[in-house]
Amino acid sequence: MGLFFLKRFITLLTTLIGASIVVFLVLEILPGNAAQMLMGPDASPEAVAALATKLGLDQPAMQRYWEWVSGLVVGDMGNSYAYSTPVLELVLERLALTVPLALMAMVITTVLALIAGVYAASRHNKVGDVGVMGLAQIGIAIPNFWFAILLILLFSVKLQWFSAGGFPGWTEDAGGSPLEALKALLLPAIALAVVQAAILARITRSAVLEVLREDFVRTARAKGLSQRAALWGHVLRNAMIPVITVMGLQFANLLAGTIVVENVFYLPGLGRLIFQSISNRDLIVVRNCVMLLAAMVVIVNFVVDILYAVIDPRVKASDI
User: What span, in angstroms and rounded, lies between the C-alpha atoms of 297 and 75?
Assistant: 19
First to last CA, the chain: 9
Output the CA angle 38-41-42, nearest 5 degrees. Answer: 110
pLDDT for 108 equals 92
User: What span, in angstroms and rounded, lies between the C-alpha atoms of 123 and 171?
Assistant: 46
Query: Domain spans of the chain?
Result: 32-76, 87-319
User: What span, in angstroms and rounded, lies between the C-alpha atoms of 268 and 90?
Assistant: 10
pLDDT for 29 equals 64
pLDDT for 36 equals 64
User: What span, in angstroms and rounded, lies between the C-alpha atoms of 230 and 44?
Assistant: 75
Type of residue found at 188: P
pLDDT for 241 equals 76
pLDDT for 32 equals 60
pLDDT for 143 equals 82
pLDDT for 158 equals 87
Each residue's pLDDT, cut to its tens digit, for the chain (320 residues) gives 567 778 878 888 898 888 888 888 877 766 666 666 666 667 777 777 776 776 666 677 788 888 888 888 888 888 887 777 888 888 888 888 888 888 899 999 989 988 888 888 888 888 888 888 888 888 888 888 888 888 889 888 888 888 877 777 777 666 667 888 888 888 899 988 888 888 888 888 888 888 777 777 677 677 666 767 777 766 777 777 778 778 877 887 787 777 788 888 888 888 888 888 877 777 788 888 888 888 888 888 788 777 766 766 655 555 55
Which whole-number Å values give the CA distances from 277 to 27, 73, 159, 186, 273, in the listed order?
13, 23, 35, 26, 6
> pTM here?
0.78
CB 107 within 8 A of CB 251: no
Cα-to-chain-centroid distance, residue 129: 29
User: What span, in angstroms and rounded, lies between the C-alpha atoms of 144 and 146?
Assistant: 5
CATH architecture group of domain 87-319: Orthogonal Bundle (1.10)
User: What span, in angstroms and rounded, lies between the C-alpha atoms of 244 and 279?
Assistant: 36
Q: Which long-range contacts (CB under 8 A, 24 or more apart) does 210-216 make?
A: 210/239, 211/235, 211/238, 211/239, 212/121, 214/238
Dihedral sign for Cα atoms in the order 52, 66, 87, 74: negative
CB 231 within 8 A of CB 240: no
User: What span, in angstroms and rounded, lies between the C-alpha atoms of 114 and 259?
Assistant: 26
